Amino acid sequence: MLATVLVIVFQGTEKVGIYDDQPAASAALWSFVDAHWDEAHHGPAPEARSEAHLNLFFAGEGDSYVIAEADLGDAAQALGSPL
């Protein structure tokens, strides 16, 4: 079973989510960015979402995100739990 994993590291806090597909993980990433956007640090939020928008948001030292596909079938098998 393939899933999409989103890992966000922001201001020393890590958030991990597992989603059915890349669009769902991207939507969760943008929700996080929208909820945590701080005009004092990032300036006014751009009207259009873009890679530049994400780069600005995650410009702080240690801040980053990753969206990657993972095979959860192997993990479930290793744990003895079928999916």
Across the chain, what does the average pLDDT equal? 88
Looking at residue 30, its pLDDT comes to 95
pLDDT in tens, 23-60: 999 999 999 999 998 876 778 888 888 998 999 999 99
Q: Is the distance from CB of 72 to CB of 1 less than 8 angstroms?
A: yes
pTM above 0.85, yes or no: no
83 pLDDT more than 60: no
Distance of CA 11 to the CA centre of its chain: 14
Which structural domain range is residue 25 located in?
A: 2-79
What is the total count of domains within the chain? 1
